[in-house]
């Protein structure tokens, strides 16, 4: 079992809809989680971090964490074509607290 699992997609949503991206992880000891966005041919950029159970909102983005069920999700409200990218989920673990990434979910927002 991979440490961080994501549905590779592609996930397509119409413009203005809510895009829901999900991630599960295997290490119950993981404490912090991150969502990165990666446009084609570009480097990953951090969009959200979450450390506690529940929801964390930042503009159109909401990260949700459920440690008991070992999943973290990212909701994008009012999706725009510019949100079309690959979204990477990452968790921090181990004594060195390094980041382990999932393989990413490709999101396409259709105009």
Partner 1 sequence: EAQVTQNPRYLITVTGKKLTVTCSQNMNHEYMSWYRQDPGLGLRQIYYSMNVEVTDKGDVPEGYKVSRKEKRNFPLILESPSPNQTSLYFCASSSKYPSDYGYTFGSGTRLTVV
Long-range contacts of 7-12 (CB under 8 A, 24+ apart): 7/105, 8/103, 8/104, 8/105, 8/106, 9/105, 9/106, 9/107, 10/106, 10/107, 10/108, 11/105, 11/106, 11/107, 11/108, 12/107, 12/108, 12/109, 12/110
In whole angstroms, the minimum distance from the beta carbon of 100 to partner 1 comes to 7
- Decide whether 75 or 99 has the Cβ nearer to partner 1: 99
CB 54 within 8 A of CB 67: no
**Options 23, 34, 62, 109; binder of partner 1; rule CB under 8 A:** 34
Site string for partner 1, 68-97 (x = CB under 8 A): --------------------x-x-xx--xx
* CB closer to partner 1 out of 17 and 61: 61
> Is residue 61 at the binding interface for partner 1, with CB under 8 A as the rule?
no
* CA dist., res. 92 & res. 25, Å (int): 11
Q: Which of 32, 70, 106, 108 is the binder for partner 1 (CB under 8 A)? A: 32
- The pairing of strands 98-101 and 85-93 is antiparallel
Q: Which of 63, 104, 107, 109 binds partner 1 (CB under 8 A)?
A: 104
Q: Which stretches of the chain bind partner 1, using CB under 8 A? A: 4, 8, 31-32, 34, 36, 42-46, 49, 88, 90, 92-93, 96-104
């Amino acid at each position: 079992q991979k440490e961080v699992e994501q549905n590779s997609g592609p996930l397509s949503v119409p413009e203005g809809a809510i895009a829901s991206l999900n991630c599960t992880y295997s290490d119950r000891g993981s404490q912090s989680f991150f969502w990165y966005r990666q446009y084609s041919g570009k480097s990953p950029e951090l969009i959200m971090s979450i450390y506690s159970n529940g929801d964390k909102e930042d503009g159109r983005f909401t990260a949700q964490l459920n440690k008991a069920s070992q999943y973290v999700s990212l909701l994008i409200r009012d999706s725009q074509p510019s949100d079309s990218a690959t979204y990477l989920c990452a968790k921090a673990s181990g004594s060195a607290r390094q980041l382990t990434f999932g393989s990413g979910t490709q999101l396409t927002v259709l105009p």
